[in-house]
Amino acid sequence: MRDIARLAGVSVSTVSAVVNNKPVVSPELRSKVQQAIEAVNFHPNRGARGLRMRRTYLIGLVVLDATNPFFMDVMRGVEDEVRSKSYDLMVCNSNDQFETEMRHLNALYAYRVDGLLIAPCDSYAAREILIGSHPPLVFVDIVPIGAKVSSVVTNNLGATHEAIRYLVGLGHQRIAVIAGRDVVSSSFDRLEGYRKAMRESNLSVREEYMEQGDSHIESGYQCAMKLLKSLDPPTAIFALNNRMLLGVLRALREMEVPCPGCVSVMGFDDSDWATIFNPSITTIAQPAYEIGQQAAGLLLESIRAAEEGAMVEPRQIVLESSLRIRESTGPAPQTPWLQQTLANLIRQS
């Protein structure tokens, strides 16, 4: 830092202020210091800084599927927010495995991160994360059951309720859903939204129309094939996450079922590819980037409060989704697709 000060023609304290992103330095001096930093390829010693200030300026993020576009957008929101406050981000992927999740958390504890963001893979097992001492913690998208925690989530129940009411408005009565794992809070909130909308519409909630997937493509495919091959197939299928939606679309293609002519399809999470498919896919769009941004902001507030010795009550932020209507949903057919297919085969013979 002395070398940088000498090169820039400023004091060491000015260099320190620039390195620590303090707003006391004029733009002109800041520019000179930044040029000197680049000239000597200077990198602050994070370890020494953390020991001195008792802060590491590191935030840990654990997600259950880093390849899912939803979580990729969440990560972007988190990163943009923490970087704007001079923090760095460490991202871990649990790959939907609780043991891996706990291993990542223990590693982040060892790195002495200043705070943690987590989308747990099991809402029941997540209560173990709350045991013992840990840095400030915010849950993202999925929350532990029966615990009062800080979190940022989507109004999953309300979003699914709106989607089902939309399908009912199109004349659909035989509406099937393919849900994710029942140990995840977002999954059973979405299922409850389905049940509520069906009851309000005076439609029976049929167990054979409630398929249990695991939030991955193959399970969406298997569940859709089972529904399509049933003696009384649904006229609409709602996949409650984007991966299972891809499995549904694969099943429709293999079975040569016209969409939306015979079966309407809807998905939860709006990915870029939803508009590219033919027909384009009706989806529930979650504000994934904003979820990450607000979760990071809530965590940074908790970190500041903890440094000041203040007590912070857990706070939940619930964000709204939007229904994006496209070509994959249409009026309910008068004749189920299976009966249409049999009738066509009879005519051809």
CATH number (domain holding residue 248): 3.40.50.2300
d(CA 29, CA 27) in angstroms, rounded, equals 6
Sequence length of the chain is 349
Please enumerate in sequence order all residues whose Cβ is within 8 A of that of 256, keeping only pairs 6 or more positions apart, or say none: none
Tokens of 19: 């390195």
d(CA 197, CA 162) in angstroms, rounded, equals 8
pLDDT surpasses 90 at 237: yes
Task: Tell me the per-residue pLDDT of 55-104, one tens digit each, with 9 for 90 and over.
Answer: 899 999 999 999 999 999 999 999 999 999 989 999 999 999 999 999 99
**Long-range pairs, 93-102, Cβ under 8 A, ≥24:** 93/62, 93/63, 93/64, 93/65, 93/66, 93/67, 94/62, 94/63, 94/64, 94/120, 94/121, 95/64, 95/65, 96/64, 96/65, 96/121, 96/215, 97/121, 98/122, 98/125, 101/62, 101/64, 102/128, 102/129
Instruction: Answer yes or no: do 232 and 333 share one domain.
Output: yes
Domain count, the chain: 3
Instruction: Answer yes or no: do 205 and 116 share one domain.
Output: no
Instruction: Answer yes or no: do 13 and 69 share one domain.
Output: no
Instruction: Determine which of 13-17, 99-103, 273-277, 320-324 has the lowest per-residue pLDDT on average.
Output: 13-17
pLDDT surpasses 90 at 334: no
Instruction: Answer yes or no: do 234 and 118 share one domain.
Output: no
Instruction: Answer yes or no: do 172 and 269 share one domain.
Output: yes
| Phi, psi of 265, rounded to the nearest 5 degrees | -130, 140
Intra-chain end-to-end CA distance of the chain, in Å: 87
CATH number (domain holding residue 31): 1.10.260.40
Give the structural domain span for 107. 53-149+288-320
